Amino acid sequence: MRRFTYWTVHKIVSSLDPALVTLGVQGAKKYRKTYELVYRREAAKPNEIWQADHTELDIWVIDDNNSPARPWLTVIEDDHSRAIAG
């Protein structure tokens, strides 16, 4: 059986990444709040926060002037339920 001294354990613990220590000691929620690059809001109830995203589609259609055009798709999502609202 191998025995570790106090100083060996102290050296190992002191060299741990602070993010890993936060995850292990304070949990995933604190880790996400402290270390995630993108802040993600969390709605407490439906319709409190909506998120919208827009993208130009990779298709061509003929517009009202008989010209080719690429349409846009817009999606609106309820943050609480993750349901698509429109």
Residue 81, pLDDT > 80, answer: yes
Q: How far is CA 26 from CA 9, 15, 17, 41, 69, in A?
A: 21, 18, 14, 19, 52
Q: pLDDT tens-digit profile of 16-38? A: 999 889 989 999 888 888 888 77
Q: Percent helix, strand, coil in the chain (nearest 5)?
A: 30, 20, 50
Q: Which residue ranges make up each domain of the chain?
A: 6-35, 45-86
Other beta carbons less than 10 A from residue 43's beta carbon: 15
Query: Does 33 or 74 have the greater pLDDT score?
Result: 74
- Which amino acid, one-letter code, is at 47? N
